[in-house]
Amino acid sequence: MSAIDAVGGIAAVLTTLSFLPQAARTIRTGDTNAISLAMYAMFTAGVAFWLVYGVLLSSAPIIIANSVTILMAGLILTLKTRAVLRARRSRER
């Protein structure tokens, strides 16, 4: 593995695993107030495109990294969407 590959590998590990503590915090606290729905909607869609890109290129690192990330980001998006819908329903009452 070249030094360039190592830098890319460290980058991929850090940006992929960074969503773990956010998902853990969101599950633990149930608090999504400061989280942007637009961010997670766009980000999850983007990661889905990265996943398709990885499949088209048959790139295992791209497929693996984005499979992990889409689970975390999709989970945070689901929790945020539920909170938004819950808040909307309680306003309508």
| Burial (Cβ within 10 Å: 0-12, 13-18, ≥19) of residue 86 | exposed
Q: How far is CA 1 from CA 10, 60, 81, in A?
A: 12, 15, 42
For the bound state, the minimum distance from the C-beta of residue 44 to a second copy, rounded and expressed in Å, comes to 9
Q: Is 45 in the site for a second copy (CB under 8 A)?
A: yes
Q: Is 1 in the site for a second copy (CB under 8 A)?
A: no
String of contacts with a second copy for each residue 51-90, x by CB under 8 A:
-xx--xx---------------------------------
Cα–Cα distance for residue pair 13/87, rounded to 1 Å? 35
For the bound state, the minimum distance from the C-beta of residue 50 to a second copy, rounded and expressed in Å, comes to 4
Query: Which stretches within the chain are classed as H helix?
Result: 3-17, 19-29, 37-57, 60-92
Binding site for a second copy (CB under 8 A): 3-4, 7-8, 10-22, 24-26, 29, 31-36, 38-43, 45-47, 49-50, 52-53, 56-57
